[in-house]
Structure 1
Amino acid sequence: MDHLGPAIDTRPLFPVERAALLDLLDSLGPADWAAPTVCPGWAVRDLVAHLLNDHIRRLSGSRDSHAGAVFADDETLRAYLDSTNGEFVRAAQCASPRVMADLIGFLGPQLDALWATRDLHAPADLGVSWAQAADSDPTPAWLDIARDYTEFWTHQQQIRDAVGRPGADTPDLAGPVLDTFMRALPRALRGEDRPAGTAVVVELTGPAGGAWAAVRGEGRWALRTGAETPSAPAAYIAMDQDTFWRLATRGIAVKRARSLAETRGDPALIRAATAILSIVG
C-alpha cells in the first residue's frame, strides 16, 4: 500500500476535536441550531444528528459487530448512505440539542477506546473507496480511522460556517485532515496514463499547508510527501488550504476552486488532480 504514502495516526486528535465541538454546541442559541448549513436541506441540528449517527453506527459495527441496515436490491453505497443518514436525521427531530450533544460526549470516549486497541497497519474495518487507486486495493486501519477524523472535523467546520464561528482550524487539528484528504490524489489521477516518474505536485498554502506529489509508477500513481516531493513536476497546483478542504468535500465547485488556484504544466493532469474528492460519491 505504498501508493497511499506514510501512515497518519489521528487517534490523539479525536478528544481535542470533540472538546472544541462540544464547547461550540454549548454556546449555540435556538436560532443557531436552526441555521441552514452547506449540506442541502440540513440545519445545524440535522448536522449534529448526523454526527451522533456516525458515532452510533461506528461503535455498533466496528466494536459490536452489528450488521446494521442492509442494502436494497441494486442500491449503490451513496444511495444507501443518503437513505440511512436521512432516516436517522428525521428520527432525531425528537431529540433536543442538549440530548444530542450529551450523547456525542458520552459515546466519543468509547470510540476513542476502540481506536486505541487497533493496529494501524492491520486491515481496516471499512474500505476508503475515495483513496483506493484500484477498486481491489485493501485499506489499512490508519486510513479508515483518519477518514472518520476528517468526517468529524469537516462537519464541525460546516457548523461553524453556518453560525459564523471560526475555530478548530489550527495546524494541529487541520493539518492531518489535509494530509488525509490528499490520499485521494492517486485515485483522482488513475485515468491519466503517463511514463513512470511523471509527477503532479500539489502545494497547499496556509498555516496547516504543505506539499504533496503523486508520482507515476508501474501501472499506478503513488503519493509522496515532504522531502520526497519532486522539484520538476509535469503539473503543479498551488491552492489555499481552506479552498482545498472545501473542494475535497464538495463545499466549493471544482470550477471555482480551479479559478482560485495557481497552476502550470500538463492541463489534463491539472484537471484530473483538481477534481479530487475525499468523501463517498
Structure 2
Amino acid sequence: MGELLADLRAETDELDTMIQGLDPAAWELPTPAEGWAVRDQISHLAYFDDAAVTAATDPEGFRVTLPAFLARGDSAADEIAASTRDLGPARLHDWFREARARCLEVFARLDPGTRLPWYGPDMSAASFVTARLMETWAHGQDVADALGVVRIPTARLRHVVTIGVLAIPYGFAVRGLPPPPRPLRVELTMPDGSWWTAGPVGAPDLIRGTALDFCLLVVQRRHLDDTFLEVRGETARTWAGIAQAFAGAPGRGRAPLASGISQGRTRWSGSCST
C-alpha cells in the first residue's frame, strides 16, 4: 500500500507540475475528450477523489447514492464537468490538490484488502489506489495533449498495465457480452526495456507491444489504429475494440487520428525504450 500511495503521489505531482502557473486561457484549451477543456479534466479528478473518500469513510452512504448516479449513464461525467465551470482556475487547482490530499490521507489508514464500493464492482483499497493512479495518468494524458506536452513514460505504467489486464473480462461484461471464450496472452515492453507478461504462453490470442501503447488503448486515449500493438486472434481483436480499464458505462473511445498511425506515433517516438 505504501508503494502504491507513493506512486500515486508521484503521478499527482507530475500532473500538478503541468498545470502549475497556467494562465486562464490555457485552462480553457480543448482536450481530445469531446467538449472537455483542461479545466474539466481537473474537476473530474477532484470530484471523484471526493467520491473515493466517501466510499472509504461512509461506504453505506455511498451505496445509497450509487443507483441514481448510475442511472444517469454517459451523461453523468459531462454534467459534473458542466456544474463546476464557474470555478476560477485558482479555486479549481486548490480543489484538486485538497481532494487528492484527503484521498491519500484516508487510504493510507486502510488495510489494502478492505473492500469498498465503487461505480463498477467493489474493489479492495489497494485496487482503489491503483485505479486513482490510472485515472490520474489517463486524464493527465488529455491535459498533456491539450498543452502540447510529451510525457516520458515511467515505471508507474505497470499499475495501469495491471489494471488493464485484470479488466479484460469487465470490458465484455459492461457491454452485456459473454465472457471472452479464450484466454489472452499479453506481452509488453516496459519503459526500462524489461518484459511484462500475462496469460498462458502460446495462447492463440495475443496482444504484444509497448506498455505505453497498451495503456493508451485500455484507458481509451488512443484508437488501436494509432498504436503499434500487435493483435492476434478473434478474441484479442474483439477485446482491443472494447478495452476499458475504468469503471462505469462503456466509454466512447477515440476515433483514429486523421493521418493515422504516423501522426499518433510522432508524439511518442523516442519516449519509450523498446
The interval holding the TM-score normalised by the smaller chain is 0.7 to 0.9
1:183 pairs with one of 166, 177, 183: 166
1:140 pairs with one of 124, 131, 155: 124
The equivalent of 2:46 in structure 1 is: 52
The number of residue pairs the alignment matches comes to: 239
Runs of 5+ consecutive residues of structure 2 not aligned to the other structure: 173-177, 251-274
Paired with 2:204 and 2:74, the residues of 1 have a C-alpha distance of 38
Paired with 1:64 and 1:168, the residues of 2 have a C-alpha distance of 37
Alignment of 1:31-46 (within 5 A): 31-46=25-40
- Distance change (3 Å), C-alpha of 1:125 and 1:145: farther
CA contact (8 A) 1:185 1:214 kept: no
Secondary structure at the residue paired with 1:41?
coil
1:161 pairs with one of 145, 154, 158: 145
Amino acid at match of 2:126: W
**Aligned-residue CA RMSD (Å):** 2.9
Q: For residue 248 of structure 1, report the CA deviation from its aligned partner.
A: 0.9
Q: For residue 44 of structure 1, report the CA deviation from its aligned partner.
A: 0.6
- Distance change (3 Å), C-alpha of 1:47 and 1:81: farther
2:220 maps to 1:261: no
CA contact (8 A) 2:157 2:212 kept: no
- Distance change (3 Å), C-alpha of 1:55 and 1:270: closer
With normalisation by structure 2, the TM-score equals 0.74
Q: For residue 160 of structure 1, report the CA deviation from its aligned partner.
A: 0.8
1:106 pairs with one of 98, 109, 114: 98
Larger radius of gyration: 1
Q: For residue 8 of structure 1, report the CA deviation from its aligned partner.
A: 10
The equivalent of 1:221 in structure 2 is: none
2:11 maps to 1:17: yes
Amino acid at match of 2:228: L
- Distance change (3 Å), C-alpha of 1:9 and 1:268: farther
Paired with 1:210 and 1:27, the residues of 2 have a C-alpha distance of 38
1:85 pairs with one of 77, 82, 86: 77
Runs of 5+ consecutive residues of structure 1 not aligned to the other structure: 1-6, 130-137, 216-229
2:87 pairs with one of 83, 89, 95: 95
Alignment of 1:108-257 (within 5 A): 108-126=100-118, 128-129=120-121, 139-167=123-151, 169-171=153-155, 173-187=156-170, 191-194=179-182, 199-207=183-191, 210-215=195-200, 230=201, 232-254=202-224, 256=225
With normalisation by structure 1, the TM-score equals 0.73
Alignment of 1:70-81 (within 5 A): 71-72=67-68, 77=70, 80=72
Secondary structure at the residue paired with 1:238?
strand
Amino acid at match of 1:175: R
Q: For residue 153 of structure 1, report the CA deviation from its aligned partner.
A: 1.7
- Distance change (3 Å), C-alpha of 1:59 and 1:48: same
CA contact (8 A) 1:124 1:142 kept: no
